[in-house]
């Protein structure tokens, strides 16, 4: 039993062979910091009765592990087998290869972001997307901001600051906690005027709420819930008529906002952006990284005069997009010019439109291999049916038939334990727990080997 004297000094540790190797890999500063921390921890352990020689012997391995752990990205890739395709906590849409390439190019070289290559003068960054957005939505004009929450904020602030904004009580949504329509309205400086009831709102409710102070009328897509039963809402074309008669802009917040009719790909219809525009909304807002399948962004499309007013709002400068995302969006929107090939080129649509039979065959193929990997650890794996969700506020109560693996083990806490193991993998695997098993929905797994490789590290 030896004491503190068994421990090397920081200098001795750095001068050792392992010290040199670690400095080569991680740099002197990082190794010195990690060595100090490890030596401090060893001294505490010895003071509490641990053997000095043991502590000294373990130092190199622990130091190497600390440094490897610190160098590992907290944003490393993982497998989303949660069954939620557009998972906000997992970064929503996976970008198309074309979008990734465009983003890479934009990061690596100067480009004409706000530069008119013909005249050599100043250009506008939104010009790179405006034409495509007009073409794909039928709107007169478009402006682009950081995300859809920002799109709603700047639109409300532009037309409703110091004035009133009318919204149906059935549409006062909360999305993911921090986005609550009444709070966003308050921040935009717009006084919320609620009309109708939770389940029913009529044309006369809007009409009688309009005053000389009304700045904007809002329609909000109820993205993450559905009101069923004795319900009534004012159809968008009729609401547009009411707004137009009063000379007040109608803002339709679509949320997910698909650019294509999803029923063409075997999913249920969601209102498209083009339809919302055609139905007479003066402005339509939607996200870049939900059904659209691009990077995080918020779009506002609609009347040219209103878009011009939004662009003059000083908030636009605070909420604008960077070149990387503009490049990725341009490449993503380009894919929409060829809707027939969209499901093979856009990962979001590819995952959402994968047929059940294909996923079930994949589950049958993978089950014995995954079972063989898990058996020594005391877990079993079987193919199962499950239900995927689109996620991120699209078709909230609809599910898509899917297939996957059901992992089980001894004891009531087996799914939780297994789930923790899978999260701790170098390539984490995320499933969801249901009825005493951990379900890995294979809808978003386009490569069998990716899962086998990840699980091999168990």
Ligand X SMILES: *Cc1c(COP(=O)(O)O)cnc(C)c1O
CB of 311: closest distance to ligand X in angstroms? Answer: 19
Residue 352: which of 449, 250, 266 has the closest Cα?
Answer: 266
Cβ distance to ligand X smaller for residue 179 or 356: 179
Q: Residue 55: which residues within 8 A CB-CB, separation 6 or more?
A: 6, 7, 42, 45, 46
CB of 6: closest distance to ligand X in angstroms? Answer: 56
CB of 276: closest distance to ligand X in angstroms? Answer: 12
Residues forming beta bridges with residue 439, ordered by sequence position:
406, 432
Record the tokens describing residue 195, joined without a space. Answer: 């009309």
Helix (H) or strand (E) holding 164: strand 164-168
Q: Which residue is nearest to ligand X (CB)?
A: 255
CB of 258: closest distance to ligand X in angstroms? Answer: 12
Distance (Å, whole) CA 38 – CA 50:
14
Distance (Å, whole) CA 27 – CA 265:
52
CB of 223: closest distance to ligand X in angstroms? Answer: 3
Distance (Å, whole) CA 142 – CA 382:
49
Q: What is the DSSP string of 204-255?
A: HHHHHH--TTEEEEEEE--TT----SS-B---HHHHHHHHHHHT--EEEEEE
Distance (Å, whole) CA 28 – CA 302:
56
Distance (Å, whole) CA 402 – CA 361:
11
Instruction: Compute the chain's Rg from CA coordinates.
Output: 28
Binding site for ligand X (CB under 6 A): 147-149, 152, 173, 175, 179, 220-221, 223, 253, 255-256, 287, 298, 393
CA dist 349 → 100, 205, 390, 400 (Å): 16, 39, 10, 13
Cβ distance to ligand X smaller for residue 59 or 184: 184
Cβ distance to ligand X smaller for residue 391 or 437: 391
CB of 58: closest distance to ligand X in angstroms? Answer: 47
424 three-class SS: coil
Cβ distance to ligand X smaller for residue 256 or 407: 256
Cβ distance to ligand X smaller for residue 145 or 374: 145
Cβ distance to ligand X smaller for residue 152 or 307: 152
Q: Within 10 Å of residue 435's Cβ, how many Cβ atoms?
A: 9
Cβ distance to ligand X smaller for residue 26 or 221: 221
Cβ distance to ligand X smaller for residue 258 or 330: 258
CB of 321: closest distance to ligand X in angstroms? Answer: 13
CB of 105: closest distance to ligand X in angstroms? Answer: 25
Cβ distance to ligand X smaller for residue 80 or 258: 258
Distance (Å, whole) CA 125 – CA 323:
8
CB of 107: closest distance to ligand X in angstroms? Answer: 22
Residue in the block written with tokens 């004009």: 141
């Amino acid at each position: 039993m030896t004491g503190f004297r068994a421990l090397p000094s920081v200098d001795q540790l750095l001068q050792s062979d392992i010290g040199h190797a670690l400095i080569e890999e991680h740099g002197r500063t990082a190794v010195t910091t990690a060595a100090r921390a490890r030596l401090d921890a060893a001294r505490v352990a010895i003071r509490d009765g641990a053997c000095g020689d043991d502590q000294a012997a373990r130092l190199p391995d622990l130091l190497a592990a600390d440094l490897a752990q610190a160098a590992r990205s907290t944003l490393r890739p993982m497998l989303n087998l949660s069954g939620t395709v557009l998972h906000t906590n997992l970064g929503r849409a996976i970008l198309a290869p074309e979008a990734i390439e465009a983003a890479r190019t934009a990061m690596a070289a100067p480009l004409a972001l706000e530069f008119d290559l013909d005249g050599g003068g100043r250009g506008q960054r939104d010009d790179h997307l405006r034409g495509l957005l007009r073409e794909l939505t039928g709107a007169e004009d478009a402006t682009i901001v950081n995300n859809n929450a920002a799109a709603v904020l700047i639109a409300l602030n532009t037309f409703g600051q110091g004035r009133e904004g009318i919204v149906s009580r059935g549409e006062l949504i909360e999305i993911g906690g921090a986005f609550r329509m009444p709070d966003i309205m308050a921040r935009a400086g717009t006084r919320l005027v609620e009309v109708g009831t939770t389940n029913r709102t009529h044309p006369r409710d809007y009409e009688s709420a309009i005053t000389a102070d009304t700045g904007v009328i809002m329609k909000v897509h109820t993205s993450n819930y559905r009101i069923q039963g004795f319900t009534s809402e004012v159809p968008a074309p009729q609401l547009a008529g009411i707004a137009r008669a009063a000379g007040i802009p109608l803002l339709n917040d679509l949320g997910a906002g698909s650019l294509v009719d999803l029923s063409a790909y075997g999913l249920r219809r969601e209102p498209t952006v083009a339809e919302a525009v055609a139905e007479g909304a003066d402005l339509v807002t939607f996200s870049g990284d939900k059904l659209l399948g691009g990077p995080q962004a918020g779009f506002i499309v609609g009347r040219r005069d209103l878009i011009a007013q939004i662009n003059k709002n000083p908030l636009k400068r605070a909420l604008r997009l960077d070149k990387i995302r503009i490049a990725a969006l341009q490449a993503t929107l380009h894919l929409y010019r060829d809707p027939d090939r969209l499901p093979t080129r856009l990962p979001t649509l590819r995952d959402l439109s994968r047929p059940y039979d294909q996923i079930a065959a994949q589950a049958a193929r993978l089950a014995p291999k995954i079972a063989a990997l898990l058996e020594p650890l005391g877990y079993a794996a079987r193919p199962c049916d499950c239900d995927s969700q689109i996620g991120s506020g699209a078709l909230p109560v609809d599910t898509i038939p899917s297939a996957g693996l059901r992992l089980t083990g001894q004891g009531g806490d087996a799914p939780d334990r297994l789930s923790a193991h899978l999260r701790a993998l170098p390539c984490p695997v995320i499933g969801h727990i249901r009825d005493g098993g951990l379900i890995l929905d294979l809808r978003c797994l386009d490569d069998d080997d990716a899962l086998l490789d990840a699980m091999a590290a168990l």
